Structure 1
């Protein structure tokens, strides 16, 4: 019922935007533009929660790893669509792709990671995760982030943080290949690296009891761990453990199809609303004389709010590996998909995208990547790491409005 209502309101909003879209450029005051933008953003965020709901349902059918991957890719596709809509629909937005990617790294790697480590540390004192998986994410994330956001500032071909046609084509191809190899290994040979280690999930215990269970590896704690959900073939005879006979595979397949259709319908709503949002966002930022980077921050916050809530819930349930897959996966996927899209738009429109970060942002990015590598260098996490990440996140927020 809620899914149908969400989709109905979303498609009504799409119809309204298509009908009233030309009037967006004729709004009489910044207040009207801001109100229209707020309504549109509310619909987009609510629809994004629908994307999360369908992705979580697919996770129950496909397993946590594939379900998390579906959620991450869905959210990043929405983000790319919003960035593309603003870049194609408004002049003077050559830095939006850069600002959005940087905002995602700051929000996810500092804000969300910091909160989840604080929540998990407060409740369980220490949490375990799969070190190999976190290391794999960071190994891919560091070059994917540094090459487009830092390296353009130090090349001699251009002097404004842009790339030449040759550089843009080469870096786009390199990004796609590296991210593609990572996905193949993540879902294939190294699948176990991204799953919660045995005994890594705890009961809903007070902090002292949870810590004692972790330290002693008590059998009752291990028994409470949620078993790994294997990826069952679609034509399997059982319905993912529901005990039904030969008809289970067909029922499971049909549910997967239904959730996929709903997922795509929800994503399509957001993509179609993106153009109207782009027009209003540009008007509001200009009218309020707000920092240009605020557009990227707003897009990142809108798109990743549902996924951030899912990651925080996972940390609260002592499913730290799932939270890591969501956070580090979002950061990696954002760069892996946004860089080729932004560079491609720049080549098509003849307006080169500015990707190189200013010096202040480069320092924040370097600190964030270094801290992430240190935070996920051991097999357990604590509240101290979370507090440190949050300090960097608050510094980022201050520097947006007072650079």
Structure 2
């Protein structure tokens, strides 16, 4: 990796772009923007995404897997939660379902979009994409449990009318989400860290029996693995710039959200599309980082990013929303409708069939991308 020993001069785009994006956020926050200003903020948002991916890779190269994926997933999710709470506080009753729509969009984008793209890119470059079934299967099982507890059960509970939890039910869901996410992080980073490390592939990449298992669960692959790690100072600078870039990404997404909402309304699309667009914007850093990892034959890193982001999105959002509901006015709609429940169930089933073998081809990647396309189409045309 070329960034291993960089000093990050102020003229470097990886330093300049996050700072300019943050400056654009300061000047645009709380203001009604004209069309030209929206375009400028959108450009800053795109630049901040690219900078965030760069700095996330520097940090990941320093701390190693799976800590690198965890840093990016948690950092993005924490700021995403702040964005959701801010929008709900400002929006009143019309944002009652924003948390549900954004979290479910994040689950579908990560579990189908990021996973599908990563498998597709990995299989195109190396014929068969290989990964650790143990770690990916555990992550998917946790995603399925959290999604069901937080997004499916509210539709069927009877304590309150509509797809809502009562206060005790919401408290239980929040505590269970936080506990499961904490347990998963402990397993991923301490007790069974080897389940979440990239798998080495056979040199020929021909999918022969045993390919991908030659070096064991902790085997390394990819061209960036043998580069000199960045210094501790460079990694700390990158971590700071990563946080700046992510604040700029999410903040500028909020700045352009009125334009998104007005565009959605003018097009006659459902309000849920706003949550989908916000999730797409916020998850861009993870998506680009996952695709780049898959190109290096590090598909396990891509899956760590995908499932880790999904877990963080549910495991951190639901507790914060539960706490915020004490002072937020209006209902909190969490339960999914029948169509989205079916899509979630299909995603879990297909995901399980994908990760159990520990290897995937173009077909599995294509199936996941079709599921994402179905979700996006039905969001626009329910």
What TM-score results when the alignment is normalised by the length of structure 1? 0.83
Contact kept in structure 2, 1:168 and 1:343, CA below 8 Å? yes
Residue 359 (str. 1) matches residue 338 (str. 2): yes
Corresponding residue number in structure 1 for 2:247: 268
Partner Cα distance (1:87, 1:3) in 2: 32
**Residues of 1 paired with 2:247 and 2:373: CA distance?**
33
* 2:282 aligned with 1:303: yes
Match for residue 165 of structure 1 among 134, 147, 167: 167
> Separation in 2 of the partners of 1:282 and 1:214?
51
Aligned counterparts of 1:390 and 1:212: Cα–Cα separation in 2: 23
Partners in 2 of 1:212 and 1:15 — Cα distance? 51
Unaligned runs of 5+ in 1: 204-208, 231-239, 243-250
Q: Aligned partners of 2:374 and 2:250: how far apart in 1?
A: 32
State whether residues 127 and 318 of structure 1, in contact with CA within 8 Å, keep that contact through their aligned partners in structure 2: yes
- Equivalences for residues 246-285 of structure 1 within 5 A: 252-270=231-249, 272-273=251-252, 275-285=254-264
SS of 1:64's partner is coil
Q: How does 1:106-185 map to 2 (within 5 A)?
A: 106-185=108-187
Equivalent residue, structure 1, for 2:20: 9
Question: Would you say the 8 A contact 2:131–2:212 is kept in 1?
Answer: no
Q: Does structure 1 conserve the Cα–Cα contact (< 8 Å) formed by 2:202 and 2:212?
A: no
CA RMSD of aligned residues (A): 2.9
Superimposed CA distance per residue, residues 154-190 of structure 1 (whole angstroms, 9 cap, x where no aligned partner): 1011121111111112211111111111112211111
Aligned residue in 2 for 1:75: 76
1:78/1:303 contact within 8 Å kept: no
Distance 2:212 2:161 in 1: 57
**What residue number does 1:233 align with?**
none
| Structure 2 residue corresponding to 1:105, chosen from 107, 124, 132 | 107
Deviation at 1:65, TM superposition (A): 1.5
Looking at structure 1, the residues matched to 219 and 77 of structure 2 have their Cα atoms a distance apart, in angstroms, of 36
Higher mean alpha-carbon deviation, 171-180 vs 387-396, is at: 387-396
| 8 Å CA contact 1:135, 1:376 repeated in 2 | yes
Contact 2:132–2:198, Cα closer than 8 Å, also in 1 = yes
- Aligned twin of 1:191: 193
- Greater shift in the superposed pair: 147-156 or 379-388: 379-388
Query: 1:381: how far off?
Result: 1.1
- Deviation, 1:106, is 1.6
Closer, same or farther in 2 for the Cα pair 1:228/1:2, shift >3 Å? closer
Query: Which protein shows a greater Rg?
Result: 1
Quote the offset at 1:277 in angstroms.
3.4
Contact kept in structure 1, 2:222 and 2:297, CA below 8 Å: no
Partner of 1:211: 206
Equivalent residue number for residue 290 of structure 1 = 269
1:58 aligns with 2:37: no
Larger deviation, residues 43-52 vs 272-281: 272-281
Cα distance in structure 2, aligned partners of 1:183 and 1:145: 17
> Is the CA contact 2:249–2:282 (under 8 Å) kept in the aligned structure 1?
no
Over residues 223-278 of structure 1, what are the superposed CA-to-partner deviations in whole Å (9 max), with x where a residue is unaligned?
98459979xxxxxxxxx967xxxxxxxx9332232222222322333454455334
Instruction: Choose 151-160 or 117-126, whichever is displaced more.
Output: 117-126
Q: Following the alignment from structure 2 to structure 1, what is the Cα–Cα distance between the partners of residues 212 and 342?
A: 41
Give me the whole-angstrom Cα distance separating, in 2, the residues matched to 1:11 and 1:122.
37
Corresponding residue for residue 397 of structure 1: 376
Count of residues in Structure 1 that have an aligned counterpart in Structure 2:
368
Aligned 8 A contact 2:291 2:302 in 1: yes
Deviations 1:299-325 (A, max 9, x none): 111011221122112222211111111
- Cross-structure match for 2:322: 343
Q: Distance in 2 between matches of 1:139 and 1:224?
A: 25
Q: After alignment, is 76-85 or 292-301 more displaced?
A: 76-85
Query: Structure 1 pair 351/123, CA: closer, same or farther in 2 (3 Å)?
Result: same
TM-score norm. by structure 2 comes to 0.87
Q: Which residue of 1 aligns with 2:306?
A: 327
For 2:328 and 2:219, the matched residues in 1 are separated by 58
